Amino acid sequence: MTASPAQDMAGLEMAARPRINVMKPWLGAEEAEAVAAVIASGWVAQGPKVAQFEAEFAAAQNAGFAVATSNCTTALHLALVVAGIKAGDDVVVPSFSFIATANAPTYVGARPVFADVELQTGNVTAGTIAAALTPRTRAVIVVDQGGMPVDLAPIRELCDPLGIAVIEDAACGAGSTYRSLPVGAGAEITAWSFHPRKILTTGEGGMLTTSRGDWAQRAAKLREHAMSASAASRHSAVLAPPEEYTEIGYNFRMTDMQAAVGIVQLGRLAEAVAQRRRIVARYAAALDGTPGLRLSHDPVYGTSNFQSFWLEVLPEFGTTREGLLEHLAARGISARRGIMASHRQPAYTGWDTGVADLSVTDRLTDNTLILPVFHQLTGSEQERVIGAVMTAGKN
Ligand SMILES: *Cc1c(COP(=O)(O)O)cnc(C)c1O
C-alpha cells in the first residue's frame, strides 16, 4: 500500500486523537455506594445481596428461578450437571462462540460436537443443529451470539421429542428479546455472564435461570460445596445446625459485593440497551448500503441488545477485514475481529468434534468485525468511526 504524504499527515493527525475503545463498562457512583454499604455491613460473601439480586434478576428475565454464580462458565457447568449430562454424552454447541461454550461440556466428561450457524444472525438454527446430532446427543447449548436472539422455538420442537435438553448460553443476552419476551425465558435452563465485556457487569459474575424448581435447588446447593444448609443460613443462626455434604459440589459462589453492583446495574439495563440501540441505528443509517459491507440487524422474531455490533467485510469493499482493522487502529479506533471459531483453536485440534459442515462459521470468523458501541460513546466519536470506515473502503 502506498500513501501520499498528505494521507500520512492526515493519518498521524487522527492517531493523535484520543483512543476509542470497542467497549467500556457503564458504572457510576451508585455502584460504588452499593459496594461501600455491603462492606460496612460486614457481610461480604454470598448472603442477602446475592438473594436479592437473584430475585430481581429472575423477575426481570421472566425466569422461574435464578441462582447466582461466580461467572457464566460455571453457570454453564452447573446447567450441564443438573440436566444430567455426563461422560459419554455428546453436547451440540456452536463453534462460532466464545470458547467457554465448547469447554463447558468437557468439564462433565461429555464431548462438544460443533454445529454451524446461519449467516444473518451468527446463531445456530434447528437446521444446523439437526445436521450435527449424533446418537449420543443429550443436550445442545444454543447461544444468543453478541446479544442476537437465537430462534429457540424451532430448536425446542426438534430437541424436546428426542429428550435432548436445550441449554441457552445468554452470556451476552441481558436485555435482548425473543418473541416479545426476554431471551432465555423459553429455555429450560439459561446461563448469563456479568463480565465487563457484557452489558450488565459485576466485575466477574454469572447467573443460572431455570423454569424448574428442582434444578434450581440442586444448582444452588452444588455451587456451595453441596452443603445441606447454606452458609448464609448457618452464619445467621446463633446456634448453627450441623451440615452435611450430600454429593461432591463446587465453590461457584458470587459475593455480596458483586451482587450489590449487579442490583444497581440491573436497574440501568433498559437505559443501557436503549442507548446501544440508538448508537447502532446511527451506524446503520450511515453505513447500510455501503458496497461490500453487510451489517447485523435485528431478526424478525426479536431484538438485540447489540452487546456486539458486527459487520461483514465482503470482497466488494475496498479492503479486507484485516485492512479495515488496521485502518481504524491507525486512527485510534479499537475495533475487534468478530467471534472466534472454537474448532480452529489448538485446544480442540486433535479432538473428534463431529462432522458437520462449518463453512458459515469460517466465513463469519474470517470476515466480520465488531465496531465500538458503549454507553458513553459521543456523537462526534461515532462520526470519527463512521468516517474512518468510509475512507477505508475508498483506498
Ligand atoms: C463471555 C461469554 C461466556 C463466558 O462468560 P464468563 O462470565 O466470562 O465465564 C460464555 N459464553 C459466551 C457466548 C460468552 O460471550
pLDDT for residue 351: 93
Q: Is the CB of 254 under 6 A from ligand 1?
A: no
Q: Which of 24, 198, 221, 394 is catalytic?
A: 198
Task: Give the cell for residue 34.
Answer: 452499593
pLDDT digits (tens, 9 = 90+) for 191-225: 999 999 999 999 999 999 999 999 999 999 999 99
Confidence band (pLDDT; 50, 70, 90) for 136? very high
pLDDT digits (tens, 9 = 90+) for 266-324: 999 999 999 999 999 999 999 999 999 999 999 999 999 999 999 999 999 999 999 99
Do the domain assignments include residue 251?
yes
Mean pLDDT of the chain: 94
Q: What is the DSSP string of 199-262?
A: SS--SS-EEEEES-HHHHHHHHHHTBTTBSS-HHHHHHSSSPPP--B-S---B-PPPHHHHHHH
Q: Are residues 264 and 277 in the same domain?
A: no
Cα–Cα–Cα angle for 285, 8, 282, rounded to 5 degrees: 10
d(CA 51, ligand 1 centre) in Å:
22
Q: Is the CB of 95 under 6 A from ligand 1?
A: no
pLDDT for residue 12: 52
Determine if residue 185 is left, alpha or beta; phi over 0 gives left, psi from -120 to 50 gives alpha, anything else beta.
alpha
Q: Give pTM, 2 decimals.
A: 0.94
d(CA 181, ligand 1 centre) in Å:
22
Q: Are residues 219 and 299 in the same domain?
A: no
Domain stop point among 205, 240, 268: 268
What's the CA gap between 286 and 300, in Å, rounded? 22
Q: What is the mean pLDDT of residues 122-139?
A: 98
CATH of the domain at 260: 3.40.640.10
Number of structural domains found in the chain:
2
Q: Are residues 255 and 281 in the same domain?
A: no
Do the domain assignments include residue 240?
yes
What's the CA gap between 112 and 103, in Å, rounded? 8
Quote the strand ranges of 239-325, DSSP E. Answer: 293-295, 302-303, 309-313
d(CA 76, ligand 1 centre) in Å:
9
Question: Is 198 an active-site residue?
Answer: yes
Among the listed ranges 96-110, 151-165, 227-241, which one has the minimum average pLDDT value?
227-241
pLDDT for residue 238: 78
Task: Give the cell for residue 78.
Answer: 452447573
Do the domain assignments include residue 17?
no
Q: Are residues 206 and 328 in the same domain?
A: no
Q: Are residues 203 and 214 in the same domain?
A: yes
Do the domain assignments include residue 42?
yes
Do the domain assignments include residue 6?
no
pLDDT for residue 395: 56
Ligand 1 atom closest to the Cα of residue 73 is 9
Pocket test for ligand 1, best of 74, 172, 370 (most atoms within 8 A of CB): 172
Q: Are residues 109 and 254 in the same domain?
A: yes
Determine if residue 351 is left, alpha or beta; phi over 0 gives left, psi from -120 to 50 gives alpha, anything else beta.
beta
d(CA 71, ligand 1 centre) in Å:
8
Q: Output the residue whose Cα is nearest ligand 1's atom 1.
A: 171
d(CA 6, ligand 1 centre) in Å:
44
pLDDT digits (tens, 9 = 90+) for 314-356: 999 999 999 999 999 999 999 999 999 999 999 999 999 999 9
Q: Are residues 38 and 118 in the same domain?
A: yes
Q: Are residues 104 and 248 in the same domain?
A: yes
Say if residues 337 and 321 touch (Cβ distance below 8 Å): yes
Domain span at residue 76 reads: 29-268
CATH of the domain at 378: 3.90.1150.10
Q: Output the residue whose Cα is nearest ligand 1's atom 2.
A: 171
Q: Are residues 275 and 262 in the same domain?
A: no
Q: Are residues 282 and 195 in the same domain?
A: no
Q: Are residues 90 and 191 in the same domain?
A: yes
Say if residues 170 and 57 touch (Cβ distance below 8 Å): no
Decide if pLDDT at 375 tops 60: yes
Pocket test for ligand 1, best of 106, 195, 252 (most atoms within 8 A of CB): 195
